[in-house]
Every structure is written in C-alpha cells, then in structure tokens.
Structure 1
Amino acid sequence: MEKSRVLIVGGSGYIGRRLVKASLALGHPTYVLQRREIGLDIEKIQILLDFKQQGARLVEASFSDHRSLVDAVKLVDVVVCAMSGVHHRGHSILMQLKLIDAIKEAGNIKRFVPSEFGIDPARMADALSPGRNTFDEKMVVRKAIEDAGIPHTYVSANCFAGYFVGALCQLRPLIPTRDRVHLHGDGSVKAVFVDEDDVGTYTIKAVDDPRTLNKTLYIRPPENVMSQMELVKKWEKLIGKQLEKISISEEEFLASKKAADEIVQAGMDHFYHIFYEGCLTNFEIGEDGAEASKLYPEVVYTRVEDYLKRYL
C-alpha cells in the first residue's frame, strides 16, 4: 500500500523531531513546516536543514498567512501537529485553530493528529486548576476538529520518559538521584512511561491505520506500566544501592502548591492526578480508543530499565 504523505507541524520541537524521524524511517514522503517566523533561531534552522539532508521536504508557511497554510496542507494526505504551548499559554490552541481552518478549506486531508501526546483531556473534566487549563484548551481543539468533520486520531502518550523516568517521578531534577527520593504517598499508584522515540513510531504507525480513525490511540507499553516505587526499585538495582525514601502525603503535596508560580502549579496538578489519583491507568480503553502496543506488536519499544541505563 502506498504510504501517505505526512506534514509535521512543529517538527523542530521535542516530540516533533521524533515524529519526523519516525515518518522518514517508516517510508512516508515527509514534509516539515518551516515557519517564516523562525527568524534567527539558528538551532531550529539547523534541525530543519538536517531533516532536509535526511530526505524530508521543507515547506515554508506562516500562521499569519492563511493561504500559505492551505497551500502547505494541499501537498499532503496527513497532518501531524506537535506544537507545544507549555511556556506560552494559549499559543498552541490559537495556532492549531488556524491550522484546522486551513485543513478544512483544503479539503484533502485523510487524517489530522493534533498536538496532545499526554494525558487524555477527555477524561480530565474534573481536574484541578490551573492544571486543567491545558486539558480545556485541548478539548477546544478537539471540538473544532470534530465540528469541521476532519478525520482524526488523538494520541495519549502518557508520561514522557525523559521527564518522568529520569526524575524518578519527582518534579525535579531530571537526572535520577543516588541518595534520596520523595515518594507520592506510598508510591504504589500505577502510571505509564513511554520513550519519546516510541511516541513518534506509534503515532506514525497509526496515521494510515483504519483501526485508529476518529479514535484515541493510547500508548501503554505493558512492561512500562508501573508505580513510582517499582521504578525506584529498578534504579536501585542498577546502582546497587538503596535510596532513602521520604513519603509525601496527598495533603502535603497539595499544600506545597501555594508557594509555586502558576506554571509550576499546573505541573503539580498533573503530577497529583497521575501519582495520587492514577488517572493514566484507572480506566479501561473502550471502543472509542485503541492501545498502540496491541495494534503494533512488531514495534520493539524501550523498556524502563533500559531507559534508566543511560544515566549510569
């Protein structure tokens, strides 16, 4: 079967780079949006040029020029967006709404994957503020997609390994400690950890798959579904040393939010829902979803213990 032409928006970003890599590796004609606003950002320019050397086609467009977006979309069959709004609240949603308008006008897209890749926002209607703002914004994007009748796949990739495995599920630092670790409660709540390269692979695998059409793809590699304590024990085994463990109760964790700024508070809210409430694993995937490792058993995903070895 002929592979779809894929446009990656936000290709120079943290997950975007993995999506471009996966799209090329899986044989898709791969296009990367080169925003005219890139200006003097030499690192992004170098990343884009590297993509070009690897066989990707750079497509220049601007979010302030609707026609350029429409023209870019018309070149491909699938659009995957990986724009991050983590540091600029509301930025990602505005850009994605403009992209949706362009996709709607172009009328040729067989699949759109919006920028999500974390906790499924459809399950977070009762999330704490300010953390819930992220989920509310993603739901605005979803409504726009569905109102426009655009074929889509939503991707819930759970916990990025670089942020959670390296940190042993602590808010900081991102390098695993060798002395003491703060546990969320008793550290027994299950979460899901995913290597970022695997996020790219599973996402691109799904773009031509009728089984993921208009559904949510949950990336839940079975051997990477574990608690914080199980993760800590894997690290202890690797370093041959027991860490001092300090338990942080639910009440203590929520009380500590008060001294943080809004961005940190939002991150803490997400940690609360993951490691105290178990929002990633306390539900069964229904008919409106699919699990990536079951759909694509041929993908050899990175296990948590192998990810930890890079820190030795």
Structure 2
Amino acid sequence: MEKSKVLVVGGSGYIGRRIVKASLAEGHETYVLQRPEIGLDIDKLQTLLSFKKHGARLVEASFSDHRSLVHAVKLADVVICAMSGVHFRSHNLLLQLKLVDAIKDAGNVKRFLPSEFGTDPARMRDAMEPGRVSFDEKMIVRKAIEDANIPFTYISANCFAGYFAGNLSQMGTLLPPKDKVLIYGDGNVKVVYMDEDDIATYTIKTIDDPRTLNKTVYLRPRENILTQTELIEIWEKLILKKLDKSFLSKQDLLSSMEGLDYASQVGVCHYYHIFYEGCLTNFETGEERVEASELYPEMPSFCLRNDTVAASFRHHVDGAFSSSAS
C-alpha cells in the first residue's frame, strides 16, 4: 500500500520533532509547517532546517492566514498536529480549530491526528478545576473534527518518560532526587510511562492502519505500566542507595495548590488524577478504543523493567545518572 503524505504542525516542538523523524524513518513524504510566528527563535529554525536536510519539505503557512493553511493541508493525506498543550510552556490547543476549518475546506485529508498525546480527555469529564481546562479544550477540538466529518485518530500516550520517569515523578524538576523522594499517596497506583520516540513511532504506524480509523489509540504496553514505588526501586538499584521517602496525602497535595500560579495549579490537578485516582489504568479499552502494543506487537517498547533501564535514565536525564550514583 502506498504510504500517505504527512503534514506535521508543531514539528519543531518536543513531541513534534520526534513525529517528523518517525515519519521520515517510515518512508513517508513529510511536510512540516513553518509558521512566520517563529520570529527570532533560532533553535526552532535550526530544527526545521535539519528536517529539510533529512528530506522533509517545509511549508510556510500561518494560523492567521486561512488560505495558506488550506494550501499546506492540500499537500498531504494525513495531518498530525503536535502543538503544545501544557501551561508551563505554551498553550495553543484551540488554535487547532483554524486547522480544522482548513482541513474541511481542503477536502482531501484522509486522517487528522489532533494534538493530544496525554490522558484521554473523553474520560476526564469530571476532572478538577483548573486542571480540566486542557481536557475541555481537547474535547472542543474533537467535537469540531467530528462535526465536520473529518476522519481522525486520537492518540492517548499517557506520561512522557522525559517528564515523569527520569525524575521519579517529582514535581518541579526533571532530575532524579539524590537523597529524598516524595511519594504520592501510598505509591502503589499504576501509571503508564512512555518513551517519546516510541510515542512518535506508534503514532506514525496508526496513520495508514484501517483498524485505528475514527478511534482512540492507547499507548500502554504492559511493560510500561508500573507504580511510582516500582520506579523508585529501579532507581535505587541503579545507584546502590536507598532514598529517604516521605508520603504526600491527597489532602496535602490539594492544599498545596493554594497560592500557586495558574500553570502550577493545572499541574497539581493532573498529578492528582494520575497518582491518586489512577486515571491512566483504571479502565479497559472498548470498541472505540484500541491498544497500540496489541496492534503492533513487533514494536520493542521502552521497558523500565529490563536491563536497558540505566540507558533509559541517561537518555532522559543527561548526566544525572553518573552524578547521582557518585
């Protein structure tokens, strides 16, 4: 089967650049949206130019110019949006409504993957304020997609390992603790930790797969599901040292929101749902939801339990492994 042509929106971002690389690696003709709003961000510009060097095609378009968006969309069969949805960086999820309008007017797109890649928003209708804002906005985008009869795939990738594994899920840092570690609740709630490169590879595998059309795809290989306590134990074995542990109750976590800035409050809410409610693992997939590792058993997943764990920590926290072990 001929491979689809892919347009990546947000290709210079944290997950977007990995999706571009995965698309090229899988042999897809790959276009990357280049927005004039990039301004003087030299890092993003160099990232885009590196894609061009490896065979991607840059397409200039702006969310403030509908015609340019339509032109870009018409170049591809599949559109993948990877715009940021986290408040501590940038939060642009509702800009996707303009992309939906462009896809609708272009009329040629066979599949649209909006910017999700985290917790399934359809299961978070009872989420806490203000953390629910991300889920609500993703559902607004979903409704626009489905109202326009645009074929879709939604990717639920759970916890990015770079943000949740290498730091032992500690808030406010990306580095693993050397002496003391904070445990949420009893530390025994199951969480899904996914390597970002695996997320990108799984995402690209779905785009030409009829089994994933108009469905939510969960990325949660069995090997990647473990508790915070199990994650900490892996780290302790690597550094040959036991960490001092303190336990944070649900009440104390929620009380800590008082006085925090908005972005931090959103983050605390998400930690509550993940580490206390178990929102990533307390359900089974159904007809409209499929599990990626079952669809693609040939995919070797990032496995925190196996002998590559040291390399995994090094990959996500450069230099932290040696400094913590010393």
TM-score (norm 2): 0.93
Tell me whether 1:122 sits opposite 2:127 in the alignment.
Answer: no
- Do 1:190 and 1:226's aligned partners in 2 also have CA atoms closer than 8 Å? yes
For residue 113 of structure 1, what is the amino acid of its counterpart? L
- Do 1:167 and 1:176's aligned partners in 2 also have CA atoms closer than 8 Å? yes
Tell me whether 1:148 sits opposite 2:148 in the alignment.
Answer: yes
List alignment gaps of at least 5 residues for structure 2: 322-326
Q: Quote the residue 2:30 is aligned against.
A: 30
Please list the CA deviations of residues 210-259 of structure 1 after superposition, one character each: whole Å capped at 9, or x if unmatched: 00000001000211100000000000011111111101111111111113
Superposition RMSD in Å = 1.3
Q: Distance in 1 between matches of 2:258 and 2:39?
A: 38
Q: Distance in 2 between matches of 1:279 and 1:167?
A: 20
Q: Distance in 1 between matches of 2:99 and 2:70?
A: 8
Q: Secondary structure at the match of 1:176?
A: coil
Q: Secondary structure at the match of 2:197?
A: helix
Q: Quote the residue 2:17 is aligned against.
A: 17
Please list the CA deviations of residues 69-113 of structure 1 after superposition, one character each: whole Å capped at 9, or x if unmatched: 001100110000000132489952332000000000000000000
Q: Quote the residue 2:312 is aligned against.
A: 307
Note the C-alpha offset of 1:144.
Answer: 0.2
For residue 204 of structure 1, what is the amino acid of its counterpart? I
Q: Which structure 2 residues correspond to residues 160-175 of structure 1 after superposition, within 5 A?
A: 160-175=160-175
Q: Secondary structure at the match of 1:246?
A: strand
Compared CA separation, residues 91 and 280, structure 1 to 2 (3 A): closer
Q: Quote the residue 1:219 is aligned against.
A: 219
Compared CA separation, residues 183 and 91, structure 1 to 2 (3 A): closer
Please identify, of 10-19 and 293-302, the stretch whose mean Cα deviation from structure 2 is larger: 293-302
Q: Distance in 2 between matches of 1:244 and 1:85?
A: 34
Q: Quote the residue 2:289 is aligned against.
A: 289
List alignment gaps of at least 5 residues for structure 1: none
Please list the CA deviations of residues 114-158 of structure 1 after superposition, one character each: whole Å capped at 9, or x if unmatched: 000000000001101000011000000000000000000000000
- Do 2:84 and 2:90's aligned partners in 1 also have CA atoms closer than 8 Å? no
- Do 1:154 and 1:215's aligned partners in 2 also have CA atoms closer than 8 Å? yes
Q: Distance in 2 between matches of 1:125 and 1:90?
A: 23
Q: Quote the residue 1:185 is aligned against.
A: 185
Note the C-alpha offset of 1:40.
Answer: 1.6
For residue 14 of structure 2, what is the amino acid of its counterpart? Y
- Percent identity, aligned pairs only? 66
Q: Secondary structure at the match of 1:43?
A: helix
Q: Distance in 2 between matches of 1:203 and 1:214?
A: 14
Q: How many residues align?
A: 312
Q: Secondary structure at the match of 2:175?
A: coil
Q: Quote the residue 2:133 is aligned against.
A: 133
Moved over 4 A (4+): 88-91
Q: Distance in 2 between matches of 1:265 and 1:81?
A: 26
Q: Quote the residue 2:82 is aligned against.
A: 82
- Do 2:167 and 2:174's aligned partners in 1 also have CA atoms closer than 8 Å? yes
Q: Secondary structure at the match of 1:55?
A: coil
Q: Distance in 1 between matches of 2:145 and 2:90?
A: 17
Compared CA separation, residues 18 and 90, structure 1 to 2 (3 A): closer
TM-score (norm 1): 0.97
- Do 2:73 and 2:106's aligned partners in 1 also have CA atoms closer than 8 Å? yes
Q: Secondary structure at the match of 2:258?
A: helix
